[in-house]
Amino acid sequence: MTNHIETLLAQLTLDEKIALVAGADAWHTVAIPRLGIPAIKVTDGPNGARGVSRNGTHTSACFPIGVAMGATWNPELVRQIGEALAEETKDKGAHILLAPTVNIHRSPLAGRNFECFSEDPYLTGVMAAAYITGLQSRGVGACIKHFVCNDSEFERFSISSDVGERPLREIYLRPFELAIKQAKPWTIMSAYNRINGVWASENRRLLVEILKGEWQFDGLVMSDWYGTYSERATSNGLDLEMPGPARWLNREHVLAAIERGDLSEAELDDKVRRLLRTIERVGGFANPTPAAEQANDRPAHRALIRRAGAESIVLLKNDGPVLPLDPEQSQTIAVIGANAHWAAIMGGGSSEVAPHYVVTPLQGIRARAGAQCIVDYAIGTPIFRRLPNLDPEWIRVPGSNQSGVRIDYFTNLDLSGAPVRTDHLATLEASWFGDQIEYLNLATFAARLSCDLLPPQSGRYQLGLSCVGQARIWLDDELVLDQWHKELMDGSEQRQPITLVAGKRYRLAVEFRWPTPGNWRAVQVGLWPEREDDPIEEAVALAARSHVAIVFAGLTKEWESEGFDRIDMDLPGRQNELIRRVAAVNPRTIVVLNAGSPLQMPWLDEVAAVALAWYGGQEAGNAIADVLFGVADPGGRLPTTFPKRLADNPAYINYPGENGHVLYGEGLFVGYRYYDRKGVEPLFPFGFGLSYTEFAYRNLRLSANTMRPDETITVSVDVTNTGPRPGAEVVQLYVRDSAARLTRPDKELKGFAKITLQPGETTTVTFTIDRQALSYYDPAVPGWVAEPGEFVALVGRSAADIRLSAPFELV
């Protein structure tokens, strides 16, 4: 590897070297054909590999979101997901997946919590390492992100995360350090924000001194998209500016940096060497011809997504127990809630993919319930911010019986002449990122999205149009909604009532244009029938006459997304009212929640059971049904603390920030560390989750009572399934420093193991404690310190349920 790279490096001209340190476009690096240096392609993740198109030109497998992966507490499973995502990435002709996201759940409100594994740096680092190992074992590069302290969306392009050295090292850098040392990711992405006043993409201390120096990271550092802000990005550790073409790492600024002495030619060579090394690692030199994008709906991926979804589901309450349901019992099941019919399978933003298909919870329950079960549905209450997309069953490609929408692209802005390209979409929603519009290199363009609409019932409907750009809607050649001359960067929804007749075929056409260069455009059309009655009344009546009521509630990608934070922990709309009214008429009410972060549950004492299903990917409905009917044990445990109220969370006073700064004033006391120290009881603690069986912990033992800094101690515990069913358990090891010179949390997670036991089965779980597990970071040294003295090993089922403990001494 080294000889080939050094030979190429010696042959490159200065201009060619400069060309290589910025992307060619939104998704590719620059090629140097003269020397046989190919371009490589990146694609968004972490819960799928999207490819160039956001619109389903080539669909993708949609896996459970990052926090759901974290909730499995199963690194081996996450490694398998990484392997599958490598296949998905190759399907999109890409070499690097922009994943995993390993930022910390600092506040329940952070918009991208759903992408991240946990509030805990150890759990995050272990899961990230497993993900990276699986991905890179199949020849696809991981891009661990966002480095670092990118823990909210508020003013995300400018905010300074002001954080002390100890929490920076022990909480926010630690998962990156663990993953880099254990799994050696080939690339890393700098964050949008500033850290203590310095932009992440030009932060020499983080990128050069710590990442490349202390940690000996030999991979490529790329910017987040448009995440460079000044010419200082040329000379402080950033290797690749994305997307291209270059804004700061261009010929003018790089030559100026060399002339000033800010950037040496040796440092420029190091950037290029890292890129060439990455091209070699992902097989770019061996296979320089770009692969065409394709969609492969693999049965093995379907099964893996379903299994991962079930393993992530956290059972929070189960009185009676009402769960699991018996599919062979003669019963009427009321399924209630918008999320039962419009499945919430992923969060919003850059992680979105166009899935091969979606199994809704309603479909999953109906497929799993036996012939003796009657499953009825009521929406209860809509929770849409915008009117929902047109149901694919209601629309046809114009002039055909094929479900879908035709989209025609034009190089002009008045949609005149013949289209230059035609594609098909699942519904009337499309978005575009970067200068490349689908597969057309267009900075300005227009598009017509058209379909035949076949309403299933006559009546009044609300038609909605929202766009970033300019758009208008025609219904049978009548202009019904017009945003053709509005401000471009808007996105707000305009609604218009229309009357439709069942059985009549309407031609619905949306015209969209983008007249200026830009990097984000979108259009969406929604349709919703008006009704005079209260849909909650219908749901309550259904629940009252049913044996069991399952209410699907929570959030969607409209409420949890990249680009904005949540405003509170409440369920949007009238969902709390719906749950309470259903529970009042049916004592066997089960609530299934979709969310990527904590929610308040004011109705918790009124319902029989609560299951947290996160956003489970394309097999979400089947995975939920597997758990509800006991085919799978609820295998998830909380990777983040659920507080009783927003004001209880440790970041509350210092969130989201002001005047361009956010103070990480809670220091080390993030998540359960804070609730322990303050004595604040959460709604559900970190690590919590019920099973359909019970487990007993016995016989905690240590391999020694003392250890030296260069030694390890093993901690063993016997765990028995004392219940009547097979079940999954997550055994958690925490360590307490009994007396430290500097402030330390009451306990910290240092090990975990997921086990599956048959009724009556016992297994021994063993952990290893080394010096690092006992260390804290002391800025005065500076470095990691493990002080001699007493420590306590604590083993339990959650941070608040410690079953056994034993002291030992570091000498």
- Are the CB atoms for 249 and 228 separated by under 8 Å? yes
Give the pair of three-digit tokens for residue 345. Answer: 């399978």
Alpha-carbon dihedral angle through residues 65, 71, 75, 76, given to the nearest 10 degrees: -80
Q: H helices within 472-521, ranges in order?
A: none
- Are the CB atoms for 768 and 732 separated by under 8 Å? no
Count each helix (H run) and each strand (E run) in the chain, helices first. Answer: 17, 38
Sheet strands side by side (includes 194-195): 198-199, 194-195, 160-162, 661-663
Query: Which DSSP letter does residue 22 get?
Result: B
Q: Chain centroid to CA 752: how far?
A: 22
CA distances from 544 to 328, 592, 617 (A): 21, 18, 31
β-pairing, 436-437 with 789-798? unpaired
- Are the CB atoms for 701 and 716 separated by under 8 Å? yes
C-alpha R_g of the chain = 27
β-pairing, 440-441 with 436-437? antiparallel
Separation between Cα atoms, residue 207 and residue 770, nearest integer Å = 28
Give the pair of three-digit tokens for residue 544. Answer: 């009252």
Separation between Cα atoms, residue 245 and residue 265, nearest integer Å = 22
Set 44, 224, 423, 737: catalytic member: 224
| 474 bridge partner residues | 479, 509
Query: Which DSSP letter does residue 344 get?
Result: -
Nearest one of 680, 683, 547 to 612, comparing CA atoms:
683
Separation between Cα atoms, residue 465 and residue 258, nearest integer Å = 51
Separation between Cα atoms, residue 505 and residue 513, nearest integer Å = 26
Q: Where are the beta strands (DSSP E) in 420-560?
A: 421-425, 429-433, 436-437, 440-441, 445-453, 459-468, 470-475, 478-483, 493-500, 506-514, 520-529, 548-554
Backbone φ and ψ for 798, nearest 5 degrees, come out as -165, 175
Taking phi first (over 0 means left), then psi (-120 to 50 degrees means alpha), and beta for anything else, what does residue 513 get?
Answer: beta
Clarify whether 605 is annotated catalytic. no
- Are the CB atoms for 611 and 590 separated by under 8 Å? yes
- Are the CB atoms for 195 and 151 separated by under 8 Å? no
| 520 bridge partner residues | 433
Place of tokens 């809630």: 337
Query: Which DSSP letter does residue 325 get?
Result: -
Amino acid at 506: Y
What sign for the dihedral angle of Cα 391, 396, 401, 406?
negative
Amino acid at 285: F
Give the pair of three-digit tokens for residue 220. Answer: 């490529």
Buried b (16+ CB within 10 A) or exposed e, 109-120: bbbbbbbbbbbb
Separation between Cα atoms, residue 409 and residue 411, nearest integer Å = 7
Any idea which residues carry the catalytic annotation? 224
